[in-house]
Amino acid sequence: MLKNAFAVGCGGFIGAAARYLFSVFVNRINTGNFPISTLIINILGSFLIGFLTQLFSSLYPSNKKLLLFLTTGILGGFTTFSTFSLETVNLYQSGNMLYAALNIIFSIVFCISGAFLGKMLAGIIANA
């Protein structure tokens, strides 16, 4: 278990650094207000996590540590949206359409609400 955690941690470092560098690069080109770098990162991460999990389950089913390094580690550090996307697709493909829909709705509503409430609370504390 410790080896798996180490693999995930090393991958997380790579993914987080890649997200930062990619955002810096895209934001030099993008001068608008829309967060295009985050959108591109989330789309790319979602594609890659789906691709890698399917590829590994078909071609390398016993190489769990490398899959953890790539998906939970690198892509988890690159974007946690990729994990949300994969879990939602897995729910849908396994016939749990209701849970897939609830995961989408709850994630959007509660995560955005959480970010909003967190900002409000920090504002209250900072201005107290």
* Known binding positions: 76, 79
Q: How many Å apart are CA 85 and CA 52, to the nearest integer? A: 13
Q: Which residues are annotated as a binding site for Na(+)?
A: 76, 79
Q: How many residues does the chain have?
A: 128
Q: Is 105 exposed, middle or buried (0-12, 13-18, 19+ CB in 10 A)?
A: exposed
HSE of 113, CA atoms in CB hemisphere, 13 A: 6
